[in-house]
Structure 1
Amino acid sequence: MSFLTENVGSSHVSSISILDTDIEINKILIVRPNHRLGNMILTTPLIQEVIDTFPNCEIDLLAKGNIAPIIFNNYTNIKDYILLPRKPFNELIKYCLVWFKVKNRKYDLVINAVKGSSSGKLLTKISNSRYKVFGEIDDKVIDKNSDSYHMAKNPIYNLRSYFSVLGLHKNERKIASLDIKLAKDEMVEGGSILKDIFKNDKKTISIFTYATGSKCYSKSWWCEFYTQLKINNPDYNILEILPAEYVSQIDFEAETFYSNDIREVASVIANTDLFIGADSGIMHLASSTKTTVVGLFSKTRKEKYKPYGNGSLAIDTNANNANQIKQIIKEVLGKRMCLMS
């Protein structure tokens, strides 16, 4: 499919004329046909960019599965969700109806949120809109912006490049961080849960010891890491956030929190001082809570998926030994304390 759709939309920009800067963009479709938690979270900066650029716009979000309405619950500009079934061949009629819906609705602008999505390109292609962003970023834009490889930032640079070609020169602001937009009552509830678990006034470090496939560190790695983390940070509580699979790489040695409510998990992490975990959907969720995140990378490319903003950073565990990781975490906590004081 990637080969077949490689050139879809490649001639779109050259086929339209330069526009007047007072063009009205009101109705927008953002296409991200994916169901994974991390990929949905990584789309939040793009949606913030669209809202910042067109504050009064109405957005339809095309995604897969049922997670998108939960993630974007507090994004008031999103008016409708067009949801593909997770298993298209099990619900073929529902799957086809989504394509008809995209074809029949009228939009001012359609944005394919990730360049590697074949179905995203095709859905953008058939959509009823004159202005379409297919996701293919110009090499000059990549050369100019060293962070354009990042999965959350790439579509924003692409969108800005498209606007530039059209003559829509908008003020380029700093790219937003990931943001699940927790409400005040959610933050309060997360704090209450944390208080009930530890029943003290210490600050808390949250850890997530699970990840899918080869991204998951071994039990021996995590047990050694957890032991050192306790020794090096006696003034902190340590909370393990458990995955949906309800497993622990440290055999439940720390206090734990488990919930199948994504926003509740986010609210608890938001009340901790630091989150440490391997590259995973939960790592991106933690990053979206504005908590400082230390991402552990051994297999995936940190330049593409690393947490950013809020003092967050990524550690290549292949290039840093245990003592170096310990020192990095110490420095991160020190900087956070300075910011909070």
Structure 2
Amino acid sequence: MKLLSKINPFRRVLTAAVFGNIGKNNIGPANGIMDPSQIKRVLISRPNHRLGNLLLITPLVQEVSQTFPNCTIDIFVKGNMAPIVFENYTNIGQIIKLPKKHFDELSAYLKGWVSLRKQKYDLAINVEQNSSSGRLSIKLANSKYKFFGGMNEEDQSKYDNYGHIAKQPVYNLRNYLAQFGIQSKDKIVPSLLIKLSQTELKAAKEKLDLLVPATKKTIGIFTFATGAKCYSVDWWAVFYERLLKQFPDYNILEILPVENVSQLGFKAPSFYSKDIREITAFFANTAIFIGADSGMMHLASAAQIPTLGLFSVTVVDKYKPYNPGSCAIQTNQTDLEDWMKTIHEVLKNN
């Protein structure tokens, strides 16, 4: 076992112990009246490198943009994915990036934290209420208003699906701003979204048409996932054969993971890319995405297509796709007939 692997569990415990209570009691307004027209610079903090977690904050970014249409949003994250995810968000200012492996790049890591003091913000928002580093970043930020995340339990009952990881930060912010008399312009929580250009969509359509007949719509499947979320080779063999039989008027195409592996043994036509935006544009040209709970599932949601999430171990209400036409299936509580009926209904209604 590497030394870092041994150190990390202790580091997390220590961080939580030292910084875990920052902002816990600072949920309400701290500086009187907030004038929405004066909120010109906003910081959103989510110091995490995972693609799925970045995609899951796109609803909050959209919410802030709608509430404060004249603001510029800076984002505090880890890794290099954020510039790709937010490429076409015109009101994104700085993306302050911590290195993914901070022990290997300690200088860059410290520089990222110091950057929080250099820019003056009108509002600083922590996305994940249980993140010690997220709350610490808001504590350090040079901001008039600071929201550390979270909500009183009594207020949580006001919101449907409060437990969803993408919706919760939006509800938390709405609840915080309501204390200043600022109401959301839309009751519906925005969907996950990567803003694609027409050029990206056209290029992806051309690639799709080289792989499968353009005369048919395409069902995209993703057979990979991490750990226990990954369904077996035998499971996918049965599922794939039934798809072919049930939907002969559709192309069945597999989107491959970065590992370039297939639970189908590459029996289906397949698409492989390491370019996140290209994959999203490819999804956008298909009729439906079917796959286990994963970053790819969230990417399909961000492509704004009907997304069918397959769940067996993770919490459905926390991670399910919720963009229009999408749904989740608990495969350990239903059977193959139920799954085919659900796919049929989604395709019929979209």
- Give the shorter-chain TM-score range: over 0.9
Per-residue deviation at 1:191?
1.0
- Verify: 1:232 aligned to 2:250, yes or no: no
- Return 137-146 or 228-237, whichever deviates more: 137-146
Query: Is the Cα contact below 8 Å between 1:208 and 1:240 reproduced in 2?
Result: yes
Partner residue in 2 for 1:143? 157
After superposition, the Cα gap between the structure-2 partners of 1:20 and 1:258, relative to the gap in structure 1 and judged at 3 Å, is closer
Q: Residue type matched to 1:155 in 2?
A: P
Which runs of 4 or more aligned residues in structure 1 lie more than 2 Å from their structure 2 counterparts after TM superposition?
1-7, 10-15, 20-23, 166-173
SS of residue in 1 equivalent to 2:289: strand
- Return 132-141 or 10-19, whichever deviates more: 10-19
Pick aligned residue for 1:288 from 302, 310, 325:
302
- Return 165-174 or 292-301, whichever deviates more: 165-174
Query: Per-residue CA shift, 1:149-187, capped at 9, x if unaligned?
Result: 101100001101110122333434311111101111111
Aligned residue runs from structure 1 range 33-72, under 5 A? 33-72=47-86
Q: Residue type matched to 1:174 in 2?
A: I
Query: Is the Cα contact below 8 Å between 2:59 and 2:167 reproduced in 1?
Result: yes
Query: Is the Cα contact below 8 Å between 1:33 and 1:84 reproduced in 2?
Result: yes
Query: Per-residue CA shift, 1:270-299, capped at 9, x if unaligned?
Result: 000010000000000001111100000001
SS of residue in 2 equivalent to 1:275: strand
Q: Residue type matched to 1:289 in 2?
A: A
Query: Is the Cα contact below 8 Å between 1:207 and 1:275 reproduced in 2?
Result: yes
Partner residue in 1 for 2:257? 243
Partner residue in 2 for 1:339? none
Q: Residue type matched to 1:266 in 2?
A: T
SS of residue in 2 equivalent to 1:156: helix
Query: Is the Cα contact below 8 Å between 1:18 and 1:167 reproduced in 2?
Result: no
Q: Residue type matched to 1:308 in 2?
A: Y
After superposition, the Cα gap between the structure-2 partners of 1:109 and 1:15, relative to the gap in structure 1 and judged at 3 Å, is closer
- Return 84-93 or 190-199, whichever deviates more: 190-199
- Return 226-235 or 158-167, whichever deviates more: 158-167
Aligned residue runs from structure 1 range 42-121, under 5 A? 42-121=56-135
SS of residue in 2 equivalent to 1:225: helix
SS of residue in 1 equivalent to 2:211: helix
Partner residue in 1 for 2:232? 218
After superposition, the Cα gap between the structure-2 partners of 1:76 and 1:270, relative to the gap in structure 1 and judged at 3 Å, is same
Normalised by the length of structure 2, the TM-score is 0.93
Q: Residue type matched to 1:88 in 2?
A: H
Per-residue deviation at 1:118?
1.2
- Verify: 1:168 aligned to 2:182, yes or no: yes
SS of residue in 2 equivalent to 1:90: coil
- Verify: 1:198 aligned to 2:212, yes or no: yes
| Separation of aligned partners in 2, 1:111 and 1:101 | 16
Partner residue in 2 for 1:181? 195
Per-residue deviation at 1:94?
0.8
After superposition, the Cα gap between the structure-2 partners of 1:268 and 1:170, relative to the gap in structure 1 and judged at 3 Å, is closer
- Verify: 1:156 aligned to 2:170, yes or no: yes
Q: What is the percentage of aligned positions where both structures have the same residue?
A: 48
Query: Is the Cα contact below 8 Å between 2:74 and 2:95 reproduced in 1?
Result: yes
Normalised by the length of structure 1, the TM-score is 0.95
Partner residue in 2 for 1:335? 349
| Separation of aligned partners in 2, 1:15 and 1:244 | 44
| Separation of aligned partners in 1, 2:284 and 2:257 | 17
After superposition, the Cα gap between the structure-2 partners of 1:20 and 1:278, relative to the gap in structure 1 and judged at 3 Å, is closer
Q: Residue type matched to 2:276 in 1?
A: I
- Verify: 1:321 aligned to 2:335, yes or no: yes
SS of residue in 1 equivalent to 2:210: helix
Taking only aligned residues, the RMSD between alpha carbons, in angstroms, comes to 1.4
After superposition, the Cα gap between the structure-2 partners of 1:331 and 1:13, relative to the gap in structure 1 and judged at 3 Å, is closer
Query: Is the Cα contact below 8 Å between 2:27 and 2:149 reproduced in 1?
Result: no
What residue ranges of structure 2 are gaps of 5+ in the alignment?
1-14
After superposition, the Cα gap between the structure-2 partners of 1:161 and 1:88, relative to the gap in structure 1 and judged at 3 Å, is same
Per-residue deviation at 1:200?
3.4
Per-residue deviation at 1:240?
0.3
- Return 302-311 or 130-139, whichever deviates more: 130-139
Number of residue-to-residue matches in the alignment: 336
After superposition, the Cα gap between the structure-2 partners of 1:125 and 1:140, relative to the gap in structure 1 and judged at 3 Å, is same
Query: Per-residue CA shift, 1:136-159, capped at 9, x if unaligned?
Result: 122123211131110110000110
Per-residue deviation at 1:21?
4.4
| Separation of aligned partners in 2, 1:119 and 1:20 | 26
